[in-house]
């Protein structure tokens, strides 16, 4: 559960190839004491001749984001679980140092509020971490060396040490099960696995994850479909399973992901990403 090497997939990034061609994107593992709560740090630097709009299908994760763009100064925000496709325009020069919390991992740092309080919001950093100030954001963003930025992020979070929270740990493990086990297709099945009623499971997720279990199941399905749709992905266009550049077998993928038919996968993909699978990446 606490692997020190961040995952290398691009799940959730819409048209990942286009984004990675324009920015320097890296992931780094946090300090060992933080790994039960954090997925990874993500660092982005860019220097663009024309604006670019990035799009991300949200994960069931809270992010803390420190950013500097052009001459606008530095700032930090809490980015709650986004309830729709997240879009962001990047322009000129800029830098981001982000903290991706594991599902359930943010609650131990802010035990006074349910994680649903942050859902769909970009909140000022000091709302979650009283006393946080712009100088800390500037100190995190200033170094050109990745290791120095990671050390500054570690120091910021370790100074605000998390409070143990068994409910948050239970939710973290349940979300990880949804992410890795394709047989978990319904809220009722997840509730039985957790030994909870569906209503109790909903309350657990609202307080510790910030998104409902049905939403989590759907998002991970769409993430999987996106990964297969990326050019060069295994099973996707130009991937090793399709040397002739054939598109993914959407009917087979729909069945693998637990959909009753291809039409339901196409509907969810289109509603979430904004284009049907056959038109992706557009």
For residue 206, give Cα distances in angstroms to 4, 81, 128, 198. 28, 11, 17, 12
Calpha distance 31→80 (Å, rounded): 23
> Residue 261 maps to which CATH number?
1.10.10.60
Q: Of 110, 133, 158, which marks where a domain is finished?
A: 158
Which structural domain, as residue segments, surrounds residue 61?
A: 16-158
122 and 186 together in one domain: no
Query: In this model, does residue 168 exceed pLDDT 90?
Result: yes
Tell me the per-residue pLDDT of 213-234, one tens digit each, with 9 for 90 and over.
Answer: 999 999 998 888 888 877 665 5
Query: Which of the given ranges, 30-34, 222-226, 236-240, has the highest pLDDT on average?
Result: 30-34
How much is the pLDDT for 53? 95
Note whether residue 44 is domain-resident. yes
195 domain-assigned: yes
Mean pLDDT of 126-151: 93
In angstroms, the CA 265 to CA 181 distance is: 18
CATH, residue 55: 2.60.40
In angstroms, the Cα distances linking 194 to 13, 67, 185, 189, 211 are 30, 38, 14, 9, 17
> Are 28 and 119 within one domain?
yes
Same domain, 29 and 109: yes
Indicate if 35 and 117 belong to the same structural domain: yes
pTM over 0.85: yes
* 38 plus 147 within the same structural domain: yes
217 and 104 in a common domain? no
**What's the pLDDT at 232?**
61
**150 and 85 housed in the same domain:** yes
Q: Domain end: 123, 158, 193, which one?
A: 158
Q: Can you tell me the mean pLDDT for 14-39?
A: 95
9 assigned to some structural domain: no
Residues 128 and 246 in one domain: no
Query: Residue 58: inside a domain, yes or no?
Result: yes
Q: Please check the confidence at residue 245 and state whether its pLDDT lies above 70.
A: no
Indicate whether 42 pLDDT > 90: yes
Quick one: pLDDT band at residue 244, thresholds 50, 70, 90? Answer: very low
Considering the chain, what percentage of its residues have pLDDT values greater than 90?
A: 62
Average pLDDT, integer, range 100-107:
97
pLDDT at 279 over 50: yes
Are both 201 and 260 inside the same structural domain?
A: yes
Q: How many domains does the chain have?
A: 2
Domain boundary among 105, 125, 158: 158
Instruction: Determine the pLDDT at residue 254.
Output: 87
- Is pLDDT larger for residue 106 or for residue 226? 106
Same domain, 148 and 32: yes
Same domain, 122 and 206: no
Q: Please tell me whether residues 26 and 69 are part of one structural domain.
A: yes
- Which pLDDT value is given to residue 226? 85
Q: pLDDT averaged over the chain?
A: 89
Is residue 184 in some structural domain? yes
């Amino acid at each position: 559960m606490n692997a020190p090497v961040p995952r290398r997939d691009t799940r959730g990034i819409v048209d990942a190839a286009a984004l990675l061609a324009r920015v320097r994107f890296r992931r780094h593992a946090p300090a060992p004491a933080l790994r039960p709560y954090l997925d990874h740090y993500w660092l982005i630097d860019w220097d663009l001749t024309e604006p670019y709009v990035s799009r991300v299908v949200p994960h069931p994760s809270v992010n803390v984001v420190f950013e500097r763009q052009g001459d606008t100064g530095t700032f930090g925000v809490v980015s709650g679980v986004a309830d729709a496709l997240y879009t962001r325009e990047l322009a000129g020069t800029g830098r981001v140092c982000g903290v991706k919390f594991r599902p359930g991992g943010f609650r131990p740092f802010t035990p006074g509020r349910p994680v649903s309080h942050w859902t769909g919001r970009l909140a000022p950093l000091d709302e979650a971490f009283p006393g946080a100030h712009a100088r800390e954001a500037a100190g995190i963003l200033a170094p050109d060396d990745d290791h120095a930025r990671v050390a500054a992020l570690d120091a910021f979070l370790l100074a605000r040490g998390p409070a143990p929270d068994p409910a948050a740990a239970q939710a973290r493990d349940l979300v990880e099960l949804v992410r890795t086990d394709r047989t978990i297709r319904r809220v009722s099945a997840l509730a039985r696995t957790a030994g909870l009623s569906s209503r109790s499971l909903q309350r657990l997720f609202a307080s510790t994850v910030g998104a409902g279990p049905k939403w989590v199941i759907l998002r991970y399905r769409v993430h999987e479909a996106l990964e297969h749709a990326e050019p060069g992905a295994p099973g996707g266009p130009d991937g090793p399973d399709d040397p002739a550049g054939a598109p993914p077998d959407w009917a087979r993928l729909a069945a693998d992901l637990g959909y009753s038919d291809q039409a339901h996968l196409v509907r969810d993909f289109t509603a979430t990403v904004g284009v049907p699978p056959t038109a992706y990446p557009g």
